[in-house]
Copies of this chain bind each other. A is one copy, B any other.
Amino acid sequence: MARGRAPSYASQREAILAQAAVLFARQGYSGTSMNQVAAACGISKPALYHYVRDKQQLVATIAQEHVARLEAVVRDVDCLALEPQPRLRELIVRFVAEYAGAQDAHRVLTEDVRFLGAEERERVLAAERRVVDAFAAAVAAVRPGADAVAMDKPLAMLLFGMINWMFTWIKPDGRFSYDDMAPVVCDLFFGGVGAVTLPQAGPGRHASIAA
């Protein structure tokens, strides 16, 4: 009876999600085959389909679980009941740490969600929107003023730009780590946010925020 037993369903499925995230991040959604995912997990393709319904569900799960962790970070920081500036700082530091520990899932979230079906895509985008709104509210709180209503969301997006872009240039063996850069982002943002003024509308030219 002491023959080799397969790992439990739950842990095997987790291993599949982790391997798939690596491959999707490296090769893109369409450039990654289910054969490759199966091979990376050391199982056959039919075995892979025992754990996941199809390729779309695989990427949907990776993205959904990642954005759910980001929402959890927002909730955790809310529970700390901090003053505006320490609160935004805590959000930044924790998001950077979350990204550092889930770079593959993060790339899947930012690049591969477009390949989902309309319904699943909307579910992920809705979660992203909640995270963005939480950051925009945190930005508004550190920058009270008449134009805050108009500018807090674009400022939050510039902030996301700084931290989302990090994974393209920070290398594990390099001089600066994600943890090193989080306070730099905070210094830059808190130092500069007071200097920002509402842009005057150009002649007939308009564009708005969607995310």
Give this chain's copy count: 2
* Closest chain B residue, CB of each to CB of A202: B179
Query: Is B180's CB under 8 angstroms from A202's CB?
Result: yes
Question: Complex Cα distance A157/B181, Å?
Answer: 11
Q: Does A161 contact B (CB under 8 A)?
A: yes
Given contacts A184-B154, A188-B195, contact A173 B30 (CB under 8 A): no
Contact of A211 (CB < 8 Å), options: B169, B176, B178, B208: B169
Within 8 Å by CB of A192, from B157, B181, B191, B205, lies B191
**CA separation between A205 and B177, bound complex, in Å?**
7
> Within residues 106 to 164 of chain A, which ones have a CB less than 8 A from any CB in chain B?
110-111, 114-115, 150-151, 154-155, 157-158, 160-164
User: 1/0 per residue A167-189: CB within 8 Å of B?
Assistant: 01111111111111101110111
Distance (whole angstroms) from the CB of A35 to the closest CB of chain B? 14
CA distance in complex: A210, B168 (Å) = 9
A169 CA to B164 CA, complexed, in Å? 13
- Does B158 lie within 8 Å of A162, measured CB to CB? yes
A33 nearest CB neighbor, chain B only: B30
A194 within 8 A of B: yes
* Chain B residue at minimal CB-CB distance from A159: B162
When distances are taken between beta carbons in the complex, the residues of chain B under 8 Å from A162 are: 158, 161-162, 165
Task: Report which A residues bind B (CB closer than 8 A).
Answer: 26-31, 110-111, 114-115, 150-151, 154-155, 157-158, 160-166, 168-181, 183-185, 187-197, 199, 201-202, 205-211
28 residue pairs A–B, Cβ–Cβ below 8 Å = A28-B29, A28-B30, A31-B31, A110-B168, A111-B111, A151-B184, A158-B165, A158-B181, A161-B162, A161-B164, A171-B207, A171-B208, A171-B210, A172-B207, A174-B208, A177-B205, A178-B207, A179-B202, A180-B202, A180-B205, A180-B207, A181-B199, A184-B199, A188-B188, A189-B192, A191-B194, A192-B192, A192-B195
